[in-house]
Structure formats: C-alpha cells, structure tokens
Structure 1
Amino acid sequence: MTERERPAGGPTSDDATSLGTVTVPRTPAGVAAAVTHAAAAHDTTGVGRSLRANRSRPPAVEFGDRLAVPTAVAAETPETGIELRLPASLRSVFVGAPLAFYLGADVSVVDDATPRLLASATGVDRELGDLTSDVPDLLARAFWLDCLIREASTGAELAEGDALDALGLDPDRLVAQSPADRLAAYLDAPFERVADRLPEWHLAMHVAPTYDHATALPYLLDRLAFVFPPETASLDRQELVSRSLDDFYRGAPGPVASVEMLDPVDRPGRTQGWLADGTPVDAFKTQPVAYRNHDRYRAADRDGMSVAVVLNDRGMAGEHDAVADIYETRASDLPMDVSFHERLTRRELADLLADHHEFVHYIGHCEVEGLRCADGHLAASDLGETNVETFFLNACGSYHEGTALVEAGSVAGAVTLRKVLDEQAAKVGTAFARLLLAGFPIVAALRLARRRIRMGKDYAVVGDGTQTLAATDDRDARVAHVERLDDDRYRVAWEHQSLTRHGDGFTTPTPGDGRRRLCGNPSTTTTDGTSLASALADADAPVVLDGRFHWADEAAAVVDPSRHP
C-alpha cells in the first residue's frame, strides 16, 4: 500500500470544521475510535504529513450512545496497515493518541493488554513498555525522519540532513514507500545515533484523562503535542519566596487573590501546558473551553484586528505610554485598529469586553472583588460572555479573572499569580506587547518578557498558550541567545519560537553558516563584538545576552558602547 494523497479541493488546515464531528460512546474504546478517525485530517500519508500545512484539524468529538462517523470522515480516514493496541484505559488512549494520529494507526483497546505497535504486512511488532516514554520516543523518531526525508527528496539542503547518511537511509527509496514500510525502516534504524542532532519537541501537554478532556484531543493533536498524565513534584519554595516590598507593588490597599501553585513533573518539550486541576508553575493553564473558543473567532468575518488598551490608574501611565507607542508603530505595518481607554467604569469595561477585540491590554489594579474600575470592581465571572480573543491583565493577582475570561469566551491571556512590582510590571508589559505583535505565541512572548524582571515566575498564561495574534506572522518569531567568551568573542545561538512551524526549517537574520535548520534547533556561530553589534543593530528581534533580555538594538549597544539603541 503506497501513501495516500488527498484529492485537490479537500479540507485544508484553515478549514477547522469541514470534517464534521465523530460521535463516540463514553468508553475508552469510544475515545480510541475518535483517535483512529483523527487521521482523516491528514492531506497525505507520505512524509509531507510532517508539515502542519498538510494536516487539517481532526474531527471534533462528542459523546452519544453509539459510534457515528460522518461519511466524509470515514472516507478520509487512511488505511495504513498500522495498529496501536492499548490497554482499555483513558490514560493509555490519551498518551498513545499523538503517535496513533501521526502514523494513521488504527487504535484498539483490550483489557490488560500489553501495548504494542503493529504493522503485520511489514513484520512490525514492537512491544511498548512505559507509554509515557516509548510513545514520545517513537513519535519523535517517525516525525523527524519524515522531515529529513522530505527535505532530502526535494534536494533541499538542511543542516541536519547528514543524519540520514549516519542511519543508512535512502530518501529517494523511502519517500515512495507506504507508511507501514517506512515505519519498519525507521524502527530498524539506529536512531539513537542522531537523536541529539534533532530539536527538542515543541509542546508537551499534561492532561488529566477524563471524558471532558477527550473533547480537547482534536486540538492537541492538531498541534502535535506530546500528551502525558499530570504528575507533580515538590515545589521549590525558594523560587516563590514572598517579599515585603508593599510600597512598590502594583497593588492597592485591598486584598489580592492568592493562588496555590504546583510543580509539574519534567516532561520533554520546550513548552509545557497543563489541562488538569491546579495551577502549574512554568506551564500554561488551559481549559477545554479555550479550544472551543477558537472556532468562534475563526469563523468571524473580519478585515483586520482590534486592539484595546485600558489604563484604569493614572499612576501607571508610564506603561500605558510605552505600549501605546508600540501599538501605534505596529499599526502602520499590520491591519490593526488601536483604541485607548482610561478610567473606565464597571459598565464601560464590561461593554468593552463584550465587543470583539483580538487583544485587550489592561493596566491597573486587581483585587479579590475583581478588576478595579472608576466606580468599583468588575468580576469577570459576572460577565455572561466576552468577545476578547486574547488579553493581558497586568495587575496584581489577576489569575482568577483571567481564567474567568477564558470561561466567558476568550482563548488565552497573560495574568499575574500574586502581587507584582509596579516598575517591573511595566517592563514585562511593554516587552510582552512588542513580542506578541512580532508573531510570538502568547506563551513564548510571556516567557521572554518576564526575563525583564527578577521575579518572572509571578506571571503566567491561562487558556491556549499556543495562540498567536491572527494578523501577525510567526515566521520571524526568533530569539538570539548570546554568551560572552574570552577576547571579545561571542557565541550566538538563534532559536525559532513558533509553535505552528514544528517540522519546518528556518534561517537566521544574522550571519552564520547560511543553512536552513529545523525549527527548534539553534543555529550557532561565534563572532567578534564589532561584527555582532553591526548585525544586531539591523535585527528587530529579542536577544538574551548573558541571561538578560534585550532588544537587538539594545544588545548591540551593550556589546559596542559606542552605539546607542
């Protein structure tokens, strides 16, 4: 059986709901059937499946008394000859889902079964031990080898391309083989020889295996995330030490809502997400409704995006003025309408949140009662609906208000977990705004922005942290990590921060070896200070210099003090 290509005119990655909805019983076998039919989203079962542009979002999942698969979904579900056999538990189906989806495997569940990956026509019979390690390893193996063969078969030069020679794999032969034949070849190859040359996985999701969360699986598979059961480690309280600098906090006499945090067990992935109870450290906290809210905005007919900046305390005008400059500057490059609001009343803020905005940047106070307004407090939980896609609540202890906004209709937002220093909040706010408008996913934008301050763990993302602003282009979401060496030498490593270009390649905006690399792999070079400063002066990108965040022109001035940002 050779690879399947979807005929021209089939569903595309931008057509989120064209494949319809699979109805399944509320059983592990039912969810396994939904995962089997998720592969209908592939435009091809060839190596091109490694590009997200060749995958649609899998069919939606809902529960009913019996299995019901739309004719279009059944017709598009590939027959690859590959099977993933799992124990009959939601946990095993959730963990195995990304591998099954990518390979186009038929998922079956059997009570007390030993997990196995099978392709009888090609002799594949691989017993899986710990699913949480074997499934990600096998998915990474299949995915990255697809990427290397995809590039090599088209004659493209990729920095990691020599890995195929080390494995003895012939791209011209493999590109024409069936999915099962390629899988057999991949499993026979000594992948461990080259694994460290390939990028770290882009996204790991910690997901409680519940039927409610099964409805979010199509969205997680669309992002090709690893899926792990949620486990926590003991929290290092030194990282979250309380401070007594109340005079400097972006706070107020009123009490700020507190948040008890937990520390997820380390899992492989540059970005971590948490779809479970509790509030994680260093992972975005999402909810099933966040993914469903995507569809509300995807279907909207719009020509540009609307950004609203709210200043509800004149004492914070410094951040307002700085972000106003950023938004107004970017408005000349993007189809973006920017509005500014001050001292809004409860009703005025509620009306603003009810109107459609792609992004709202709130600057002010947040207390237990809600967001402080000119005439009291507005609790987001009292809102019937919000039409704000993404937001930044740059106010003390805004976490609960942020999660309530997601429940009311938003996709994602940046929030604070406790009191924050006013001056440092302004630094985070301005950096975050610029990064978001540069195309960085909201979680990557906040991760970089909080490097501006010492207590960066006070900031977090709620909702789908992979969200980007629709009018932006994430192909330039790159960051440089610069390390000083001896004798005026610097090591420069560029990394791509996009979460949608996983498996694609990128080039650096400053001189290097010039070769494309897989997104997620750093492009590293060594240069002198003068050359580095000259290159950075022309790069509109974030730079982490010796662990501290700068914009490229600022970093150029640090490297060469004769320059001024």
Structure 2
Amino acid sequence: MSIDIDPLREADGITVTDHIENTQFEVYTDRAVDPRPRPESDHYFPVDTSVAVETGSIEIPRVAVVQTRDSDGNLLTRGDCYEMPDGTYHVGIDPAPTKLYLTFDSAFAVSTTDRTTRIDLDTVGTVGLGFRTLHQTPAGTITTPTDPESLMDAVSLLGSGLQTTSPERSFPTLRGHPPLIEPGEEFSVPERVEPVDSGVRIVVPPEYRYLYPVVSLAYYFAANVAPGDAPRIEGDGWTYPLEPGFETRTAEVLRQSFHLDCLVRTEGFYPVDLHERETTALDLDWERLYNLPLATRLGEYLEVPFRDIEPELPQWTLTTDVRPSPGNVEMLPFVAGELSIVRSPETVTPVADDEGVGVGFLGSPNRSASPATRRDSQVAGASLDDGEFVRGGASAGATRGVDPSADRGAVAAQTDFVRPEPVNTVEHAWVGDGVPLDANKATLDAYHRRLEAGQVEQSRISVLVVCNDEQMREEGDVADLYGLRDMVQFDIEVRHDLSREEMRDVLASDVDFLHYIGHVDERGMQCADSYLDLTDEDLEIGVSAFLLNACQSYQQGEALIHRGSRGGIVTLSDVANSPATTLGRIIARLMNSGFNLRTALHVAKRELITGHQYIVVGDGGTTVCQSRSGMALVFEVKDGRHDEFNLSAEFYPNGNHGVGSLASLNLDAIENNYYVPSEVVCNAVSTQEMSELLDLELLPVFYKNGLTWAGEFDLD
C-alpha cells in the first residue's frame, strides 16, 4: 500500500502519508473519526486508497479549488465559495499533496480563508475519501544485470508507474513516474513496484539497439518485453511488425496510439469538446474503443494506416538519442517517463574543429565566418570581422586577461563533438559520450536532482546576475526582465566584478537561477583577480540552474552539473558580444515566463542563428518558475484584413502540464480544448481581442519575422 490513512492524535481528522512521494498532510473533521476501508470503485476517478468516515465537515490546511460532479460524473461547478442542494456528489479538491476526492449524499457549502478550504455538510453523514499519489517520484529502484535479456525484465516493469490502463493515462497526472533502474549482480524488485498485466507484448532481439527505442512504448503500454528475432508488438490475436524501419515505426506507434487515446478519452471522465476529436477524418466507434481492454484497443488503433492519421498529428516534443551501451541503462526510466521518441545510434559522426559545423561555429573569431554566421552578426548589429570583442578572449577587439596569441579553438582538446542525426521533433536530447551539436546533453546526475527537488513550495524565487566585465554591462540590465510577473515574487540581485573567492561563495549559494555574463577560457571563469576553474576545483555547488553566457562555457557548465546543479545553458564556441547580449535577454524573459531550458533555447534559436552555438546541459526540463497558464506558449501574429490579426499559438509541455494536458485560448472564436502539444490557429482576431489576450500573460510573440513580447507588441 503506497498511501496510509491514520487518525490524528491531537486533533480531529486523519493523517495521509504517501510513501511514494514522501509527503504527509492532514485532513480535519468536526469530530473524532475512525477511518474504515471503502471500495476504490465508489469514486468517479481512479484512486489508490479509499476510506469512509462519519463527519459533518472536511477541511484541508491550504487554499484550493473544489470541483463538484453529480452521481454520473457530470461537472456541475467549481470554485472556492458556493453552495449545493441535496444530492449525491463526487467532489475533487485541488491542489493537495495527493489527489483528493470525496463522495457523499448531502447538501453542502464550500468556503475558504487565506489558509484553508472547508466543505460543510448540511447533516452529519458518511463521507468517502479517496487518495491517489501524484507519483512524480518513482515507487522504487529495480536492480538488474545489464545484459539485454535481463534488462528486458526491468523494462517490462516501467509501466507499473501508470495509474490506469484506460485512455486517460494520456493525461500526465495519470502517468506516474516509472521505477528507477540500477545495475546489480542479481535481479531485484522492490515491494511497491507491482507489474501491470496489460496484455501487450513487445518482442525485440536481445540487443541494446533494439531494446532502448521501445522503452517509451513499454512504459505507455505497460508491456512485457521479450526476446525474439523479428521486432513486433503483440496482443490478443494480433501482431504488428516493427520492421522495416524499426526506429521510425516505433516512433509512429507512440505518436499514433497517444493521439488516438487523447481522442478516445473524451468518452470517459472528461467529455470535453476536443478540437482534435472534432476535426479528425477518422470514422471510428469512439465509445466502443474506450471500453475495450488496452491490448485490444491498441490492436484496433494499429489497424489504421499511419499515413491516414499522420496529417492530424502534432509535432512531437522530444527525441532522445541513447547510445546502445550498458552504461546508459539508468537513464531509461527518465527517457520513458518523458514519453520521448527514442533512437539508439550505433555510430555517430564526429565533428572536427576545422569542419566549421556547417556554419563556422567552431572556428575562432580570427577565422573566416560562414555566410550564415556573418548574416546573424549583421542582424545582431555587429560583425566579428569588424573587430567586435568576444566573450572568451581571442579577438581583434577588447578582451580581458587573455593572451590573444593563444591558439584556443572552440573548446579544450579533450572534448569530442558529435553530430547527431537531425530530428523531426521540437527538442532533442543526447545520452552518451561526446558533446552533441544542437541537442541537450542529458546526464543522470541532473535527472536524479529533478526527483530530489520535489514539489518545492516557496514564496520567493532567487535570481542572481553576475557581470564580470564592464564592457558587457548592457546585458546586466537583464535583471530588469526577471520578476515581471504578478503572483510570483523574485529576489533579484546584480553583482559586478566578483573576485575568485566571491565567485566560489556565489556558486555555493542557494540560488534558483544564475545568469553569468563574462569571459571563460581554458583557465576557467574569469574573475576580478584570477580564474576559477570549475573542472578541477573542490567546489560546493548550490545553484539550481544557470546560463553561462560566455565563450566556450560548456566544460564549466558540465562541471556545475556534476557537482550539484540541475540544468543550464552553455556555449560551444566563441560568441560575439552583441548577439550574446541579445540571446541572454531572450533567455531571461523566457525563464521569467516559466519556460524550461530546452524550450527557451528552442525559441531563442528561432530569433538568432547564433543560438545554435548554445546547448542545454543536464535536465532540459528545468524551470525557474511556473508560467501563469502552466505551460509554455508562443504566439505568431500576422497582419490580417481591416485591422484584424491572424494568430497561431503553439503550446509546449512544461513541468506538471506535460504531454496530453488540455489547453485552450481565451478568445471567443476558440470554443474547444486542444491537447498538448498543439497549435491553435485563429484568424480575423480584432485589435481589442488581441489586446486583451496579450494582457493576460508575458509571452513571446513572433511578428514580421522578429521576436517581441506581449505587453510591448504594437497593435497600431
């Protein structure tokens, strides 16, 4: 049992202990209660544990929204202050440390204070309380030998984290985190990791290059993975081949099945008006599909040719390349939990410094830049050939403390660049040796820190801007861009010209986001009196996330990840000051708006070609704060006719609002919900409607091929 319910000792009510999330909270009643077991099926939504108590009120010590449904599950109302007449009700209280549902027969009233939420029944009676773990923390760690056949048994248990096998598991809150995997001499499974019999079987040859690409499918289908010659998926009476084109077909199966689950789930707990359901060209019996077992339903999904459904599919968010090595087995649960498309390249293209990475990014500023680099420099208002200083040292312009005659190249010689194959997804992560171009260098340490971070509740978010070069003071003004948020409080500090010891203290501090502006070379981060090399210093690191906006900052940033940070953005080459300043300001605003590191850099690359000189290290899903709408949202606006605008809005998964969340736009013309990721298109938006929409949240807006911001967009 993952959740325990016990009577309170010094007050009236119960204590709820979630052993998976390591959380505990109290629910108060108006009299002493003795909770007794109650069938989980009494609740409209899935629960892990259910009890019944006799009480006249339920109160929790936090401000929440109360959602009320009738006995058939129809949504009646939601809010924090209202009354309901006699009836049979299913009530949800959100947020709470676990999902909390009530069921009872009585009229009732909802009220809140600045600290509590209370439900008062008209008469004392039986109240059923159901609890479901949010399961963002793994239930345990599976120990396994790392040979492919043994590892298959561990991968077969990834689906134990699912809260349901119904189509509702396409909601992120019903997909618990998969159990972790660690190498060991013997196979061992903790008690709380219980297998799910979904009836789905995935057969692949016992090789890493076949096993790794199916981990997301194994998790999402709660599938048993078994060795065999021909890669395939099997259910009761059906078989679906995964060849030819093994990795492509596994990606297609994930996208197709997830999309159809999102459409079919509208027949269940959430009968919302879904845009994708109303616009699909498929003629399927949605209600019948909803009521089928997972394996049977999947078999019918796969009878639909992918070419028939592909035009309806949104661009998937993430592809992760996991090199086929036993050393990468511990990353598999994290990759699967993100529902990433997975590839496992046996070979990889190395990148030599003199290749120029296609656009000259690995050349030093003294070398000739490619046309793409020159074009970007001109857009940014500077040219390396015109002697603009760079943030490393070797330039014809102003530098600090660096020998301009040194042949530095792009990074230290021991760093090997690799060029992953291009992806068709928004984001791209890399698991394995080498520094990937245009991909997030994902590391196990950082993903474990995601779990350790948990659901941190804090009233203020700390941002520290460090500028160690007076010629870069312009970017130091980014401090003004952090904290431009209602309902979110920031502590923002700007410091200049820090000494080596002062920089050590900064890195050890409990800062949510460090924005570093200055020079980096092979000696480390330049300080006012010396250099601080993070790769060989015995440092204590407390900084959670960072942007190291300096030349060739990859190795310094990687050292931060290994020593305690969760994620950051770094450079792979020398960067000219003007475009670096522009990018720094873009990243500042996006992080302030709740974007995660990967999506923030994706948006910045749309504006600046030099954005490809930067990559994310560590956990690319790291955020500084939550956006007002909960997810990352990017507008593109085009002029329409008669003072009207044509708008497209892209929703990206972010934090707790992961793949499969529901989203909509606050426009009269948009009546439906969309599932994330999605693009919402609305034409002929009036000036007044556009103004009201842009006032709701600080968002990036692309207009006339340039980036501006809600609040600054000129509607005239």
Fold match (TM-score > 0.5): yes
CA distance in 1, matches of 2:443, 2:526: 25
Partner of 2:171: 51
Work out whether residues 12 and 54 of structure 1, in 8 Å CA contact, stay in contact via their aligned partners in 2. no
Select between 177-186 and 223-232 the one with higher mean Cα deviation.
223-232
CA distance in 1, matches of 2:702, 2:592: 19
Amino acid of the structure 1 residue aligned with 2:201: E
Listed as ranges, the gaps of 5+ residues in structure 2 are 1-40, 50-129, 362-368, 371-383, 394-398
Partner of 1:513: 670
Work out whether residues 591 and 625 of structure 2, in 8 Å CA contact, stay in contact via their aligned partners in 1. no
CA distance in 2, matches of 1:270, 1:95: 18
Deviations along 1:28-69, one digit per CA (max 9) or x if unpaired, are 012211111111100111111111111221111111112111
Partner of 2:337: 222
Please state if 1:367 is matched with 2:521: yes
Partner of 1:128: 242
Which of 111, 127, 137 is 1:16 aligned to?
137
Please state if 1:161 is matched with 2:277: yes
CA distance in 1, matches of 2:131, 2:225: 24
State the shift of 1:199 in Å: 0.9
Work out whether residues 167 and 191 of structure 1, in 8 Å CA contact, stay in contact via their aligned partners in 2. no
The alpha-carbon distance between structure 1 residues 128 and 6, as it changes in their structure 2 partners (threshold 3 A), is farther
The alpha-carbon distance between structure 1 residues 162 and 467, as it changes in their structure 2 partners (threshold 3 A), is same
Partner of 2:152: 32
Work out whether residues 544 and 567 of structure 2, in 8 Å CA contact, stay in contact via their aligned partners in 1. yes
CA distance in 1, matches of 2:429, 2:340: 9
Which of 116, 120, 139 is 2:232 aligned to?
116
The alpha-carbon distance between structure 1 residues 471 and 83, as it changes in their structure 2 partners (threshold 3 A), is same
Partner of 1:82: 200
CA distance in 1, matches of 2:425, 2:605: 20
Partner of 2:646: 491
Matched length: 546
CA distance in 1, matches of 2:152, 2:224: 9
State the shift of 1:163 in Å: 5.5
Which of 48, 57, 74 is 1:7 aligned to?
48
Partner of 2:73: none
State the shift of 1:257 in Å: 6.2
The alpha-carbon distance between structure 1 residues 269 and 83, as it changes in their structure 2 partners (threshold 3 A), is same
Partner of 2:391: 250
Please state if 1:196 is matched with 2:196: no
Work out whether residues 426 and 602 of structure 2, in 8 Å CA contact, stay in contact via their aligned partners in 1. no
Work out whether residues 48 and 133 of structure 2, in 8 Å CA contact, stay in contact via their aligned partners in 1. no
Which of 214, 220, 225 is 1:102 aligned to?
220
Amino acid of the structure 2 residue aligned with 1:88: P
Query: Where does 1:326-341 land on structure 2 (aligned, <5 Å)?
Result: 326-330=481-485, 333-341=487-495
Amino acid of the structure 1 residue aligned with 2:448: R
CA distance in 1, matches of 2:540, 2:46: 42
Query: Where does 1:204-215 land on structure 2 (aligned, <5 Å)?
Result: 204-215=319-330
Work out whether residues 644 and 687 of structure 2, in 8 Å CA contact, stay in contact via their aligned partners in 1. no
Partner of 1:477: 632
The alpha-carbon distance between structure 1 residues 410 and 375, as it changes in their structure 2 partners (threshold 3 A), is same
Structure ID, larger Rg: 2
Which of 165, 173, 187 is 1:67 aligned to?
187
Deviations along 1:214-246, one digit per CA (max 9) or x if unpaired, are 101111111111110246569762363464344
Query: Where does 1:228-307 land on structure 2 (aligned, <5 Å)?
Result: 228-230=343-345, 237-238=358-359, 240=361, 241=369, 243-252=384-393, 253=399, 254=402, 258-259=410-411, 261-298=417-454, 304-307=460-463
The alpha-carbon distance between structure 1 residues 303 and 535, as it changes in their structure 2 partners (threshold 3 A), is closer
State the shift of 1:11 in Å: 6.7
Select between 290-299 and 38-47 the one with higher mean Cα deviation.
290-299
Amino acid of the structure 2 residue aligned with 1:543: V
Partner of 2:502: 348
CA distance in 2, matches of 1:182, 1:88: 27
What is the DSSP-based 3-state SS (H/G/I as helix, E as strand, rest coil) of the residue aligned with 1:388? Answer: coil
Query: Where does 1:358-397 land on structure 2 (aligned, <5 Å)?
Result: 358-381=512-535, 382-397=537-552
Bigger relative contact order, structure 1 or 2 (CA pairs below 8 A, ≥6 apart): 1
State the shift of 1:132 in Å: 0.4
Partner of 2:561: 406
Please state if 1:429 is matched with 2:545: no
The alpha-carbon distance between structure 1 residues 263 and 487, as it changes in their structure 2 partners (threshold 3 A), is farther
Partner of 1:563: none
Query: Where does 1:532-547 land on structure 2 (aligned, <5 Å)?
Result: 534=691, 538=695, 540-547=698-705
Work out whether residues 11 and 56 of structure 1, in 8 Å CA contact, stay in contact via their aligned partners in 2. no
State the shift of 1:157 in Å: 0.6
Work out whether residues 135 and 161 of structure 2, in 8 Å CA contact, stay in contact via their aligned partners in 1. no
Deviations along 1:392-434, one digit per CA (max 9) or x if unpaired, are 1111221111111111111210112222222222221122111
CA distance in 2, matches of 1:271, 1:215: 21
CA distance in 2, matches of 1:523, 1:15: 29
The alpha-carbon distance between structure 1 residues 525 and 15, as it changes in their structure 2 partners (threshold 3 A), is closer
CA distance in 1, matches of 2:459, 2:694: 33
Which of 87, 92, 95 is 2:210 aligned to?
92
Work out whether residues 5 and 45 of structure 1, in 8 Å CA contact, stay in contact via their aligned partners in 2. no
CA distance in 2, matches of 1:454, 1:487: 34
State the shift of 1:149 in Å: 0.9
More strand by share: 2
CA distance in 2, matches of 1:94, 1:470: 32
Select between 438-447 and 420-429 the one with higher mean Cα deviation.
420-429
The alpha-carbon distance between structure 1 residues 542 and 511, as it changes in their structure 2 partners (threshold 3 A), is farther
State the shift of 1:526 in Å: 2.4
Select between 537-546 and 370-379 the one with higher mean Cα deviation.
537-546
State the shift of 1:299 in Å: 7.8
Work out whether residues 319 and 429 of structure 2, in 8 Å CA contact, stay in contact via their aligned partners in 1. yes
How high is the sequence identity, in percent, across the aligned residues? Answer: 31
Work out whether residues 475 and 585 of structure 2, in 8 Å CA contact, stay in contact via their aligned partners in 1. yes
Partner of 1:527: 684
State the shift of 1:92 in Å: 0.8
Work out whether residues 647 and 685 of structure 2, in 8 Å CA contact, stay in contact via their aligned partners in 1. no
Amino acid of the structure 2 residue aligned with 1:405: L
The alpha-carbon distance between structure 1 residues 96 and 315, as it changes in their structure 2 partners (threshold 3 A), is same
CA distance in 1, matches of 2:529, 2:680: 53
TM-score by length of 1: 0.89
